Chains A and B, each alone.
Chain A
Amino acid sequence: MAKEKKGVRLEHISKIYKDPKTGKDFYAVKDQNLEIEPGSFVTLLGPSGCGKTTTLRMIAGFESPDEGEIYLGGEPINALTPNKRDTAMVFQSYALLPHYNIFDNVAYGLKLRKMDSETIKKKVTDILSLVGLEGMENRMTNQLSGGQQQRVALARALVIEPGVLLFDEPLSNLDAKLRVSMRTEIRRIQQEAGITAVYVTHDQSEAMAISDKVIIMNKGIVEQVATPQEAYYYPNSKFVADFIGECNFLKAKVTGQDMVEIDGAAVKCATGNLESGAECDVVLRPEGATLSDTGVIKGIVDYSCFMGAYQDYRIKVGESFVKIQEYNPKNKKIYKVGDTVYLGFEDNTLYAL
């Protein structure tokens, strides 16, 4: 539907803010280089204050970068005001115009583009049916539920057929169940419209579910750009490993190619470029370990709790604790607090940093 898919390129982008408390300048975003492919769905992911929203607002034009240049479809856009940029944003608070009905809200951008009323009517009707709001044209915004308001905000952004669609934590005001169904919906609509999308969230499961690529940010710096799978299985830093999913770090020593020693036991583990003899942290996802009565790494059950889908354990290994989730606990042996257990690892689940 979009007239032209546009890519976004950020070259050495930095944004400096003044800390209101100390009065000192700091980098909200530092030397960011990004290439967002046309038609892809990319998520900026990170904890609050990591610079993801600032990045998005710089692409939209609400903030100006202090260093570097932003390109939209190959054109530098630093000096353009938001109204002159081929972007459309879906806001966290939806930001619908409360004095207009749904139709006028969606038609707002089209009217500014001086389209005739016939075209406007057709486009608005089409887009409302795409987002599943047929026949709601005359409702006022406060007569809609949160999810419906979100769809209007999406329709309003889509209807002007922007080169890039920007999302600023659009689902954070919805309840948990709706959040899950809306993110699938957003993904479907983006695919159907075939539009480039940049999405900001702090919710890693949302980012995984929705994106072609995630950009994990921390303190203004891009930690990793990867597909959700890569980021989960091959995080390139402890921060990423910890932020995407749950994770344990096991102290280990590289003993050879793809071999490490944990707590005196030799274990198979992807070691990447780490040299033999190096100290490292092995990333262990809670679902990546199994518990049994025999094995190499010995521990004592410190906590054991039935969670439905899995049995949640905390195992004391040496001086540290390891979180383990054993799925489908009905068919497995349940260990109690104080039991002695042995940890085993499935192949290809460990990754050394």
Chain B
Amino acid sequence: MAKSQSASLDRKKLMADPIMVTTIVLLVVFLTIFILYPLAILLVDSFVSDDGLTLDTFKRVMALPNFRRAITNTLKVGFLVGIASSLIGLLFAYVEVYVKLRTKFMEGLFKVVSMLPVVSPPFVLSLSMIMLFGKAGIITRFLLHIYDNSVYGFWGIAIVQTLTFFPVCYMMLKGLLKNIDPSLEEAARDMGASRFKVFMTVTLPLILPGLGNAFLVTFIESIADFANPMIIGGSYDTLATTIYLQITGAYDKQGAAAMAVVLLAITLLMFVIQKYYLEAKSTATLSGKASRERMLITDKSVTVPLTILCSGLAIFVIIMYICVPFGAMFRTWGYDFHLTFKWFGQVFTKYKGFKAFKDSFILSLISAPITALLSMIISYLVVKRKFKAKGFIEAVSMLAMAVPGTVLGIGYIRGFSGGLFGSGFLQGLYGTGAILVIVFVVRSLPTGTRSGISALRQIDKSIEESAYDMGADSFKVFMTVTLPLIKDSFLSGFVTSFVRSITAISAIILLVTPSYLLITVQINEFAEKGAYGIACAFATILIIITYTAVLLMNIFMKYFGTSRKVNIED
């Protein structure tokens, strides 16, 4: 049987659609140059020397004791953070889905916790950890009178990362738990199982793949994290910081490239397991919709301890965030608690705060619509169209999710500082704002694409087909049907990308030139110097910006969003 005729006809039909063809070609070129090429260059850098293929560079970096230590450090932190975050996430998810929360206050706490990872700059918790538990920490020094407590190192990183990442697990697991049909558990109860037994024999096995999924996602986040180990790691180096120091301190570009390949190999492996094995499995077991409302647990012996545990944790995290604006308002943290605005003043007078905010704001604002549109186009192509390069586009844009910022940063340095393949072509890009915008876009693309894909999957395929059938070409269909229907997803992609960009640091810190001042880079610098007042002032304003952006988005969606008016699902 030959399928050649339909293939050639499909190709002809595609070619009859020049806008679509151009879009696909441009996308493939963009993804190749700005995602695949920098990673490929890293491989070339670390495997190829003057006399052909060699493992010398790897042998050299593996011989460095601090690199070997960094690998074990990173893995240790990753495992602990992965396990702790998924367990705390599970606790929160379980309490929200299964336990009757009596008060508005508790519901509010849960809502805040779920919002935090969206609006929070990555290093905020490290800052407050130092300010609460460090040498001059309010809790350690003033409440407990411990004067030499060190938060730097393994435990510091692990705690801060766990608190940063558990809300992500909470949101993931909440979705899964909600999909469990309550009658499964009721059937087990009915046959005489205790609540604990039901949890262990029904609920837990059902969400086990999902739990593994949450673990791996956090694990990847943890080992890719640059900002927290940088600020609170002290001498405890992880892979991301070691790579950074290798290139900024030792100027060893080839060595850094080889290290980046090692880090990339670990994250990619985890990503492949997560994406192609666990994700499929976790949704496969729980595809059904809950048949009806779940009877919430009201038994006091269960609700009280769980509520206390969750609210304690939530309040602790919230305090850590609140700590930051206060840090910016105390005259000297830990010694002089008079309120002052001098740090905010200094941000703008002494440290070019205005330029930093302007640069960060403008670059993020430029990249946000590009990311949002690009991810909607990619999702449309992936979900709704059939063409050859589709697998490539989907795989590469998802691959970007597994690439740690530091790795991407090194790749860009190696790939673009001398132009493409050292030819000088596109060299003009290096050191400009444009390359920063591109990095922002590439870093936010996977999240945007993922949300776009899931939004589009909800839309009946025949809605677009009907428009196509009525005589609209692909461009018209996308503009008049697809985009209006996923307006919400577009908007949230826009804001998420804006927030991610303005709070990004790992890749950007390697590529930013003195002509651009970025807030996150400033915060990092001042925090490293120990100037917590200034760092907190910067961070406070940053949180205000991101929070406002998210707030505006929610308001906008409430009044202009599609989901209110329209029943998209058939």
Is the pairing of A and B real? yes
Q: Are A95 and B465 in contact (CB under 8 A)?
A: yes
Q: How far is the CA of A142 from the CA of B565 in the complex (A)?
A: 9
**Contact partners of A67 in chain B: CB under 8 A:** 5
**Contact partners of A87 in chain B: CB under 8 A:** 469
Q: Are A78 and B9 in contact (CB under 8 A)?
A: yes
Interface residues of A in 23-61 (CB under 8 A from B): 25, 27, 60-61
A58 CB to nearest B CB, Å: 9
Q: Kindly state whether residue A151 has any CB partner on chain B within 8 Å.
A: no
A84 closest partner in B (C-beta)? B16
Count of A-B contacts judged by CB separation below 8 Å: 110
**Contact partners of B16 in chain A: CB under 8 A:** 79-81, 84
Q: Are B568 and A98 in contact (CB under 8 A)?
A: yes
Assuming A97-B481, A113-B471, A140-B565, is B9 touching A79 (CB within 8 A)?
yes
**Contact partners of B463 in chain A: CB under 8 A:** 93, 95-98
**Contact partners of B460 in chain A: CB under 8 A:** 93, 95
Q: Pick the contact of B485 from A98, A142, A156 — CB < 8 Å?
A: A98
Assuming A61-B13, A92-B462, A98-B568, is B3 touching A108 (CB within 8 A)?
no
| Interface 0/1 of B1-20, CB less than 8 Å to A | 11111110110110011000
Q: How far is the CA of A140 from the CA of B12 in the complex (A)?
A: 37
Q: Are B466 and A91 in contact (CB under 8 A)?
A: yes
B8 closest partner in A (C-beta)? A64
Assuming A16-B3, A81-B16, A97-B481, is B9 touching A65 (CB within 8 A)?
yes
B269 CB to nearest A CB, Å: 27
Q: Are B470 and A156 in contact (CB under 8 A)?
A: yes
Q: Kindly state whether residue B476 has any CB partner on chain A within 8 Å.
A: yes
A97 closest partner in B (C-beta)? B481
B104 CB to nearest A CB, Å: 32
Q: Kindly state whether residue B205 has any CB partner on chain A within 8 Å.
A: no
**Contact partners of A99 in chain B: CB under 8 A:** 484-485, 562, 565-566
A24 closest partner in B (C-beta)? B1
Interface residues of B in 435-467 (CB under 8 A from A): 460, 462-463, 465-467
Interface residues of A in 67-99 (CB under 8 A from B): 67, 78-84, 87-89, 91-93, 95-99
Q: How far is the CA of A84 from the CA of B17 in the complex (A)?
A: 11
Assuming A79-B12, A98-B485, A99-B484, is B469 touching A15 (CB within 8 A)?
no
Q: Are A109 and B484 in contact (CB under 8 A)?
A: no
For A16, A27, A96, A97, which residue has the most chain B Cβ atoms within 10 angstroms?
A: A97
**Contact partners of B181 in chain A: CB under 8 A:** none
Q: Kindly state whether residue A269 has any CB partner on chain B within 8 Å.
A: no
**Contact partners of B468 in chain A: CB under 8 A:** 62, 81-83
A228 CB to nearest B CB, Å: 28
Q: How far is the CA of A113 from the CA of B470 in the complex (A)?
A: 9
Interface residues of A in 205-233 (CB under 8 A from B): none
B87 CB to nearest A CB, Å: 37
Q: How far is the CA of A109 from the CA of B471 in the complex (A)?
A: 6
**Contact partners of A83 in chain B: CB under 8 A:** 468-473
Q: How far is the CA of A160 from the CA of B472 in the complex (A)?
A: 12
Interface residues of B in 1-44 (CB under 8 A from A): 1-7, 9-10, 12-13, 16-17
Q: How far is the CA of A96 from the CA of B467 in the complex (A)?
A: 9
Q: Kindly state whether residue B299 has any CB partner on chain A within 8 Å.
A: no
Q: How far is the CA of A112 from the CA of B472 in the complex (A)?
A: 7
For A80, A81, A108, A109, which residue has the most chain B Cβ atoms within 10 angstroms?
A: A81
Q: Are B470 and A88 in contact (CB under 8 A)?
A: yes
Assuming A87-B469, A99-B562, is B2 touching A66 (CB within 8 A)?
yes
Q: Pick the contact of A95 from B13, B462, B568 — CB < 8 Å?
A: B462
Q: How far is the CA of A60 from the CA of B13 in the complex (A)?
A: 13
Q: How far is the CA of A25 from the CA of B463 in the complex (A)?
A: 29
**Contact partners of A66 in chain B: CB under 8 A:** 1-6
Q: How far is the CA of A84 from the CA of B469 in the complex (A)?
A: 8
Q: Are A65 and B469 in contact (CB under 8 A)?
A: no
Assuming A83-B470, A99-B562, is B481 touching A15 (CB within 8 A)?
no
Q: Secondary structure at chain B's binding surface: helix, strand, loop or mixed?
A: helix
Q: How far is the CA of A273 from the CA of B471 in the complex (A)?
A: 50
Q: Kindly state whether residue A63 has any CB partner on chain B within 8 Å.
A: yes
Q: How far is the CA of A78 from the CA of B16 in the complex (A)?
A: 13
Q: Are B469 and A64 in contact (CB under 8 A)?
A: no
| Interface 0/1 of B322-365, CB less than 8 Å to A | 00000000000000000000000000000000000000000000
Q: How far is the CA of A265 from the CA of B463 in the complex (A)?
A: 59
Q: Pick the contact of B469 from A60, A96, A98 — CB < 8 Å?
A: A60
Q: Kindly state whether residue B567 has any CB partner on chain A within 8 Å.
A: yes
**Contact partners of B470 in chain A: CB under 8 A:** 83, 88, 108-109, 112, 156, 160
A102 CB to nearest B CB, Å: 14
**Contact partners of A153 in chain B: CB under 8 A:** 466
Q: Are B1 and A16 in contact (CB under 8 A)?
A: yes
Q: How far is the CA of A78 from the CA of B485 in the complex (A)?
A: 31
B228 CB to nearest A CB, Å: 43
**Contact partners of B562 in chain A: CB under 8 A:** 99
B560 CB to nearest A CB, Å: 12
A145 CB to nearest B CB, Å: 14
Q: How far is the CA of A27 from the CA of B568 in the complex (A)?
A: 34
For A65, A112, A113, A156, which residue has the most chain B Cβ atoms within 10 angstroms?
A: A112
Q: How far is the CA of A96 from the CA of B13 in the complex (A)?
A: 25
B483 closest partner in A (C-beta)? A99
Assuming A83-B473, A99-B484, A112-B472, is B466 touching A64 (CB within 8 A)?
no
A140 closest partner in B (C-beta)? B565
Q: Are B481 and A25 in contact (CB under 8 A)?
A: no
Q: Are A112 and B9 in contact (CB under 8 A)?
A: no
**Contact partners of B1 in chain A: CB under 8 A:** 16, 25, 27, 66
A233 CB to nearest B CB, Å: 37
A78 closest partner in B (C-beta)? B9
A197 CB to nearest B CB, Å: 15
Q: Are A93 and B5 in contact (CB under 8 A)?
A: no
Q: Kindly state whether residue B570 has any CB partner on chain A within 8 Å.
A: yes
| Interface 0/1 of B553-570, CB less than 8 Å to A | 000000000100111101
Q: Are B469 and A82 in contact (CB under 8 A)?
A: yes
| Interface 0/1 of A134-170, CB less than 8 Å to B | 0000001010000000000100100010000000000
Q: Pick the contact of A142 from B10, B469, B566 — CB < 8 Å?
A: B566
**Contact partners of A113 in chain B: CB under 8 A:** 471
Extra contacts, 11 of them, besides A97-B480, A97-B481 (Cβ < 8 A), are A15-B6, A16-B6, A62-B469, A64-B6, A64-B10, A64-B13, A65-B9, A66-B6, A89-B466, A95-B466, A142-B567
What are 28 pairs between A and B in contact, CB < 8 Å?
A15-B6, A16-B6, A25-B1, A61-B13, A62-B468, A65-B5, A65-B9, A66-B6, A79-B13, A81-B16, A81-B468, A81-B473, A89-B465, A89-B466, A91-B462, A95-B463, A96-B466, A97-B481, A98-B485, A98-B567, A98-B568, A99-B485, A99-B566, A108-B470, A112-B470, A142-B566, A153-B466, A160-B470
Which residues does B use to contact A, with CB under 8 Å? 1-7, 9-10, 12-13, 16-17, 460, 462-463, 465-473, 476, 480-481, 484-485, 562, 565-568, 570
Cβ-closest 3 pairs across A and B: A64-B9, A109-B470, A95-B466
